[in-house]
Chains A and B, each alone.
Chain A
């Protein structure tokens, strides 16, 4: 007989493969996104000439256009136009990192600006170096404001990773497609995939809250 139409224990392996892809994409894009986002945020906060407006406009376009279109642009458009080769995973990594960067940059700017300006002025009057002011005065306090917002972005990004299935990455959502097409059991397949994402989101949220608590400044 050809083609088993029911679930087998190999499907657990399939699910794990998808999970691995989703998680690696999440961690990669989150770490890159946070690093670059902070850099771009600093560029905007210190209003560095030429770069700041570019960073701002790029960020606005990234935040206000659909991720799926950005994925198509990079995965289908760039190889055609620039004559390079990109795997789906690479294209997705570029897009998701850029997307995360855009949101983190906004949070970075907002949280830096939320620090009481009087403190910066005082530090300057003590002839502290700008880099020291950044590290010792601004950063710790901005972090407290930024932490919950960053957690929110990360929880959102784990769901955005589901879009990479559209350009062919074998992530959780793609596994869902594969299983659905083979078994025709959408009421089992999709809830399972959905709950996996739900648990992932919840875990990130929970861990984020615990880390947040560590940053809190005693009142």
Chain B
């Protein structure tokens, strides 16, 4: 049993890295995506076109290519940040496009009458967004956002290719030292499934709580 301990520890460390980079990227993509969604739905002219271009572009280029672009490109610009933050940045921008599309859809679903009411009572644009439009948009987009973020957690496994020591990389190291790749990766598969299942339960509960009154 004590044979497993160092491996369990290594996996636990990997798990914490996965957790932290996922959390950072979720917050980052939420910020980027909401901003772009607001620009695309209420802006006009150049910002709106740029926003749409961002969504189209980043949704149709593989995550891996984007991650490599940042990992190899940033040092060329003189920006030297570690694998963790490179990964968090790349994922925030990559997933941000999906978040933007989901939030944009949520914003357009807000009832036009309710929107009209928020205008006629004198709320400023920022106040309307904060107190009426975004709360309602997020209630609608919650489930799509949930699956986007669950997918993000799975995508963090790609960061193993840029030397980040998250869960998949830890497993890879264990597999190469134990020469039992089948067993190790099988367990890893199960671990990830459990992780995503737990997250989808959390999303379900949160969704139920928020839409109770609607």
Contact = CB atoms under 8 A, between A and B. Distances in A.
Interface of A: 60-61, 64-66, 68-70, 72-73, 76-78, 80-81, 155, 159-163, 165-166, 173, 176-177, 180, 184, 186-187, 190-191, 193-194, 197-198, 201-202
B65 interface: yes
Given A187-B73, A198-B57, A80 B179 contact: yes
Contacts of B73: 186-187, 190
Interface SS of chain B: helix
Contact of B193 (A60, A78, A80, A163): A60
Given A69-B188, A198-B60, A193 B65 contact: yes
A76 B188 contact: no
B183 to A, nearest CB: 8
B122 to A, nearest CB: 42
A197 B65 contact: yes
A66 B192 contact: yes
Pairs A-B, 7 closest by C-beta atoms: A77-B182, A162-B62, A66-B157, A81-B182, A73-B185, A186-B72, A201-B60
Given A64-B154, A77-B185, A176 B65 contact: yes
B60 A155 contact: yes
B13 interface: no
A47 to B, nearest CB: 23
Interface in B169-203: 171-172, 175, 179-186, 188-190, 192-193, 196-197
Interface residues of B, number: 39
B158 interface: yes
Contacts of A190: 65, 68-69, 72-73
A198 B68 contact: no
B182 A78 contact: yes
B189 A69 contact: yes
Which of B63, B64, B190, B196 has the most chain A CB within a 10 Å cutoff?
B64
A61 B180 contact: no
Nearest to B160: A68
B161 interface: yes
B172 to A, nearest CB: 7
A137 B69 CA distance: 49
Contacts of B158: 66, 68, 163
Contacts of A163: 62, 64, 158
Contact of A166 (B57, B69, B161): B161
B62 A64 contact: no
B64 A165 contact: yes
Contacts of A65: 154, 189, 192-193, 196
B10 interface: no
Nearest to A180: B72
A80 B181 contact: yes
Interface in B69-87: 69, 72-73, 76
Nearest to A166: B161
A72 B181 CA distance: 8
Contact of A73 (B63, B65, B182, B196): B182
26 contacts: A61-B189, A61-B193, A64-B154, A66-B155, A66-B168, A66-B192, A68-B168, A69-B168, A69-B185, A73-B181, A73-B186, A76-B175, A77-B186, A80-B180, A80-B182, A159-B62, A162-B62, A173-B68, A176-B68, A184-B76, A186-B69, A190-B65, A190-B68, A194-B65, A194-B69, A202-B60
A72 B172 contact: yes
